[in-house]
Amino acid sequence: MRFERNMWKKIAAMVLAIVLTVTLALPAATGQASAATTETGIMLDGRKLDNAQAITVDGTTMVPIRIVSEQLGHSVNWNQATGRIQIGSAPASLTLTLGSRTAASYSGSITMQQAPFLRSNTTYVPLRFVGSQMGLAVRWEQSSGTVYLQTQLEAPSLPTTPPTAPSTPPADSNRASINSISFSDNRLTISADSSVKPEGSVLRGPDRIVVDLPDSSFGPGLLQNQTASTGQVVTLHVTGSSAVKQVRYSLFSQSPSTVRVVIDLNRSTGHKLYTRGNLVLVDLNDDGAAAPIGTDGKKVVVIDPGHGDQDPGGIGVTGKREKDMVLSVSLKVAALLKQESNIDLIMTRTDDTFIPLDGRVKIAQDAKADVFLSIHGNAASSNAGGTETFYADTKRSKALSDTIQKHVLAATGFRDRGSKQANYLVIRKTTMPAALLEIGFMTNANEEKLMMQDAFQQKVAKAIVAGIKEYLANS
């Protein structure tokens, strides 16, 4: 599922007209103020939402926000103390407050017909608002007393990263925000929003490499991880490395603010610590003399597993999450690319963390990548299916997208939805050849089942690697 502001605006505009019409056709107020209500079932994309009822209050139909949002793949955070509900992830989120008709989004405030209210531990929000904000068509069927919600395009989504600065500006303007920490291809990659001067050291008993990042703190993505915000240690699980046991990171000191990253080793190994743009890289190798990424004629490939942490992406028929599927496929891609001696790999994430879209672009830009590939699973109505790949720029990226589509399609055996042009942020703002792959549909029962299978994922991963290699050989 893709998150794209422009598309989002289009959906909202298109849907608003439908929603307005439908809302007017909803049952009129009973005249008995809020005490008099009717209850109706809710169908989303042809599926009945269990334990979900729409309630009509003073002529406004209200729906349970958590159930609807989560079915659409948006996270919902509820703060009991403030009565605030946050849908989606900051900064591209919507914030509602119990008892207040004003909702806040990055583009401004929106007034609802009725204020959200709590009933039986369930928060109800006007259907019209939910429809317009989440890109849903809304239909009310009086005879069966049912509200029908229909996703409009294949990737309904909340607005993506706003053009303005993050909601939590750094206290010190010289301080760097650490946006992502990942480990793949025997390489630790730390992405910051401005330059940092890393200080490395090796400690023995047990062996470990310590990297301190002076004047740095966690960026909004990593801060979503609650343990990161409280200064506790976050562990990044590492697979496929004989030398590395795990990676840990924490806010080591608050004054001066310092992020510390520790590579716990199974055995002593050499390493090289260096920067590239605002990336901090630690290459592990036994002689400690490996060439920096992208040198010795090597091509730099950035693999971007979509979504992560509180952003699950599309939710499958059986509840499987896009973020888990794409991470699993991407780690298999990483294991295969590691064996390619002429490719240096960087992953935007190697665990269940959230990286803003701009942060993903930044990693690829700083890495001076030769290829950027974002990996996703699609979401739509239950009968939609197929594999598709997107590129933003015909000259730069179409050949990459075509090649990836050809290989992955052969591996999935799904319907051919083609290699197509689209304006998604991660492929538009990256300046190297870039493509966004949608392997198949999480919302299609057959495709979801296959995409969660290890052997199928391995087949897709091989196809992705074959596509990347074919593209690099011909470019």
308 binds Zn ion (CB under 5 A): no
Give the ranges where 313-453 is alpha helix by DSSP (H).
Answer: 322-337, 357-366, 394-412, 425-428, 445-451
Nearer to Zn ion, 129 or 391 (CB): 391
**Interacting span for Zn ion (CB under 5 A) from 190-198, 347-355, 368-376, 451-459:** 368-376
- The number of residues that bind Zn ion (CB under 5 A) is 4
Q: Does 88 bind Zn ion (CB under 5 A)?
A: no
- Name which position in 66, 323, 360, 376 contacts Zn ion (CB under 5 A): 376
The DSSP call for residue 359 is H
356 contributes a contact to Zn ion by CB under 5 A:
no
Is 349 an interacting residue with respect to Zn ion (CB under 5 A)?
no
Our CB check for Zn ion shows the closer of 208 and 428 to be: 428
Cβ-based nearer residue to Zn ion, 63 or 72: 72
Q: Which is nearer to Zn ion, 160 or 186 (CB)?
A: 160
Pairing of strands 39-44, 146-151: parallel
Residue window 157-176: x/- pattern of binding to Zn ion, with contact defined by CB under 5 A:
--------------------
Sole window of 32-40, 49-57, 231-239, 373-381 interacting with Zn ion (rule: CB under 5 A):
373-381
Q: What are the DSSP calls for 94-131, one per residue?
A: EEEETT-SEEEETTEEEE-SS--EEETTEEEEEHHHHH
Question: Could you tell me the smallest distance in angstroms from the CB atom of residue 253 to Zn ion?
Answer: 36
Residue 73 as a binder of Zn ion (CB under 5 A): the answer is: no
- Shortest Cβ 360–Zn ion spacing (Å): 12
We find the least distance from the C-beta atom of residue 307 to Zn ion, in angstroms, to be 6
Q: Which two tokens stand for residue 260?
A: 């510390």
Measured from the CB atom, the residue of 40 and 350 that comes closer to Zn ion is 350
Can you say whether the dihedral through the CA atoms of 460, 360, 220, 292 is positive or negative?
Answer: positive
Nearest-Å Rg of the Cα atoms of the chain is 24
Contacts of 8 (CB under 8 A, 6+ apart): 135, 157, 158, 159, 160
The 10 Å Cβ neighbour count of residue 142 is 10
Residue among 126, 135, 166, 306 that touches Zn ion (CB under 5 A): 306
Q: Would you give the binding string for Zn ion spanning residues 1-40, x where CB under 5 A is met? A: x---------------------------------------
Sign of CA dihedral 174, 359, 220, 117: positive
C-alpha closest to that of 137 among 19, 217, 245 = 19
Find the length of the chain. Answer: 475
| Torsion sign (Cα): 9, 50, 67, 143 | positive
Interatomic CA distance for residues 336 and 338, integer angstroms: 5
323 or 469: CB nearest Zn ion: 323
Using CB under 5 A as the binding rule, whether residue 313 contacts Zn ion is answered as yes
Closer to Zn ion by Cβ: residue 6 or 258: 6
Decide whether 112 or 315 has the Cβ nearer to Zn ion: 315
Instruction: Write out the residues near Zn ion by the rule CB under 5 A.
Output: 1, 306, 313, 376
